A and B are shown apart, each in its own frame.
Chain A
Amino acid sequence: MTAAVETGLTTTIHGDRVSLLRVLGPAHVWALGVGIVLVGEFTGWNFAADKGGALAALIVCWIVGLLYTSVAMIDSEVTSTVAAAGGQYAQAKHIVGPLMAFNVALFLVFAYTMLEVSDAILLGDTIVAKAGVEGLTHNSFIAATIVVLAWLNYRGVLMTLNVNFVITAIAYVSIVILFFSVSPWTQGAVLKLNELVTPGNALPYGWIGVIAAFQFGIWYYLGIEGTTQAAEEVRSPARSLPYGTMAGMITLLIAAAMTWYVCASLMPWEYLGITYYPLWDAGKLTGSPLLENLLFIATLLAALASANGCINDAARAWFSLGRDRYLPSWFSAVHPKYRTPYRSILFLLPIALAFAFIADLNQAITFSILSGVLQYTFMSINIMMFRKKWPLGSIRRGYTHPFHPLPAIVLFCLCMVTFFAIFLGFGSQLIAMTVFYFLISLWFHFYRYKFVRRGDQFSMPWPKPQGY
């Protein structure tokens, strides 16, 4: 039945319902994942050098790369089966249970909103640093970043991710251009890795420094799991999501390696570990004004792409909570013309603005990382339960990840190491966030859950799980 509703907005609604649009392909999934993450190469990862030296930053690049490869593999399998907005939230709801799902959705919203805040602050600070004008503050640039991107998200997912694809690609290509401009095959001409990273200073704090560096090593790849939020808007989730996510992870591993090599070969670890602009600084140190300006623009574009993807993902997680009545169903409204979760986008907009104006970059980054690692810990448990309840062959999977349960075990162990690293640096924030999630879980269990329509929330046409 098609009930076309004609209005002053020249909108036609197909069928009885207004739903999100299925218009995205693998390239958009790549743009969403890599777009969110790539800013981590432009700032963030380098603080790992402050914790443990330049070599520690490289070691965590590889080990945390392993963590995220596990995340991408696990995520691809589960999401190719549970193709719904909300990503890991929808997975948790079907596989673990409502309380876990509620917490996972909050992890997602916090991780992405705080990352969006960090991106906006970074963009504002970068412009202020470039301008060097007395009296110029970052507030106007922060406001413009958050509001313009929220408007873009409000107007439709296809344009949002088309824009993300273009700006992410430009930022990525700038890293490649920088890499090949400094003659990476010759040491001594521009790069001086032999002089800057020596056996005497490679690991200045020993192996405990490597552990401490995990906290910021996360920045090489933080957010790649955000691709799953597009599950309800891609044309072929079973194909596009694994393809886009894996391609994104490979892209990021290459970018991370190139970034470390160039930066560690141009800057001493003492400076690399404290600068906010490692790649922009690397561009300056080459002595080429062209590279300097290219890396400045790329830093801005990477921050924009990340904030753009974060708004997209946080809004979908919040929208999904409303749709299942875990939060008031008012949040589950879809714009009849643009087919976006417009109320969720608008609701999160002032929250992001408020945090961006009052929080500092380090606090925002730490809250984002903490929520992210909590989410990855859940994913390792989730895949074990998924394979146990619905073994291979019992339901159709778009992708089956190899070597199970090794990726889940590796992911869980690396998450524990990262929690320890965060505890070393930001112990009070870790405890505060744990208490917050505990209290909000009590609120959900004893108050909110009675509003949930329990039968409606499980939407996948799966057989009963094994053992039930």
Chain B
Amino acid sequence: MWMGLSYVCWGISAALAAWMLYDWFKVDTTYSEAVLTSSREGELEAVSEKHRI
């Protein structure tokens, strides 16, 4: 059982790492660098965020 669990762990790690790399590529090719790096420190205090959680 433990050896099986070990293989499952490798599988999950590989799948999630691949998903993150895919999503990273998708985001970086969809949005401009200016948008992605537009966060500014302290700015949120002044901005009313209207997002849905």
- Residues of chain A at the chain B interface (Cβ within 8 Å): 5, 7-9, 12-23, 83-86, 90, 127, 131, 133, 135-137, 140-141, 143-144, 147-148, 150-151, 154, 158, 232, 320, 322-324, 329-330, 332-337, 342-343, 346, 349, 456-457, 459-461
Contacts and interface: CB of A to CB of B under 8 A. Distances in A.
A356 to B, nearest CB: 12
Contacts of B2: 127, 131, 133, 136
Nearest to A7: B30
Contact of B24 (A320, A346, A456, A461): A346
Given A329-B37, A457-B41, 17 more contacts: A5-B35, A12-B51, A17-B38, A18-B38, A19-B38, A19-B40, A22-B49, A86-B41, A135-B3, A137-B6, A143-B10, A144-B12, A148-B13, A151-B20, A322-B37, A323-B39, A333-B36
B30 A151 contact: no
Given A17-B43, A144-B13, A336 B20 contact: no
A22 B44 contact: yes
B39 A334 contact: yes
Given A133-B3, A148-B16, A14 B26 contact: no
B47 A19 contact: yes
A150 B6 CA distance: 19
Dominant SS at the B interface? Answer: helix
B30 A13 contact: no
Nearest to A331: B37
B7 to A, nearest CB: 7
B24 to A, nearest CB: 6
12 contacts: A5-B31, A9-B30, A17-B43, A18-B38, A19-B44, A84-B41, A85-B41, A140-B9, A147-B17, A148-B12, A334-B37, A336-B27
Nearest to A320: B41
Contacts of B21: 346
Interface of B: 2-3, 6-7, 9-10, 12-13, 16-17, 19-21, 23-24, 26-27, 30-31, 33, 35-45, 47, 49-51, 53
Contacts of A83: 42, 45
A147 B13 contact: yes
Contact of A342 (B10, B24, B43): B24
A306 to B, nearest CB: 19
Q: Which of B26, B40, B53 has the most CB of A within 10 A?
A: B40
Contacts of A136: 2-3, 6
A151 B18 CA distance: 10
B13 A143 contact: yes
A140 B10 contact: yes
B9 A13 contact: no
A147 B16 contact: yes
Contacts of A336: 27, 31, 35-36
B7 A140 contact: yes
Nearest to A130: B2
Contacts of A22: 44, 49
A336 to B, nearest CB: 6
A19 B53 CA distance: 15
A22 B46 CA distance: 12
Contact of B39 (A14, A20, A127, A140): A20
